[in-house]
């Protein structure tokens, strides 16, 4: 079992849809959770950064962490074609061992 599991997709949705992207993990020591967005031929850029369980909202994006289920989600409301990208989850135990483990990434396509 991989430490972080993420469905590679592709996930294709119409413009305006609510998108749900998910990752599961096995390491209960993870406390810091991140979502990165990567456009084709570009480097990943940080979208959301959360600590421990709960929700965090930033504009159209909401990150959700459920540590009891070892499950994290990223929701995108009112999706736009410009949201088409690969979304990578990442997580770490934090502290001095801050080298996150990345999921494979989910390819999202938002069509007009």
Partner 1 sequence: NAGVMQNPRHLVRRRGQEARLRCSPMKGHSHVYWYRQLPEEGLKFMVYLQKENIIDESGMPKERFSAEFPKEGPSILRIQQVVRGDSAAYFCASSPGDSPYTFGSGTRLTVV
Positions in the binding site for partner 1 (CB under 8 A): 32, 34, 36, 41-46, 49, 88, 90, 98-105
Which residue carries 């590679």 as its tokens? 8
Q: How far is the CB of 43 from partner 1 (least distance, A)?
A: 4
End-to-end CA distance of the chain: 37
Helix (H) or strand (E) holding 52: none
- Pick 8 or 81: Cβ nearer partner 1: 8
- Pick 14 or 59: Cβ nearer partner 1: 59
Q: How far is the CB of 14 from partner 1 (least distance, A)?
A: 26
Residues in the chain: 112
DSSP state, residue 103: P
């Amino acid at each position: 079992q991989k430490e972080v599991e993420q469905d590679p997709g592709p996930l294709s949705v119409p413009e305006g849809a609510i998108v749900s992207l998910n990752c599961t993990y096995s390491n209960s020591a993870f406390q810091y959770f991140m979502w990165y967005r990567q456009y084709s031929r570009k480097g990943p850029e940080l979208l959301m950064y959360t600590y421990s369980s709960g929700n965090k909202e930033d504009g159209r994006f909401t990150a959700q962490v459920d540590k009891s289920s070892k499950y994290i989600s990223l929701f995108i409301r009112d999706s736009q074609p410009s949201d088409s990208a690969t979304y990578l989850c990442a997580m770490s135990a934090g502290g001095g061992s801050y080298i996150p483990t990345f999921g494979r990434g989910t390819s999202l396509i938002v069509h007009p």
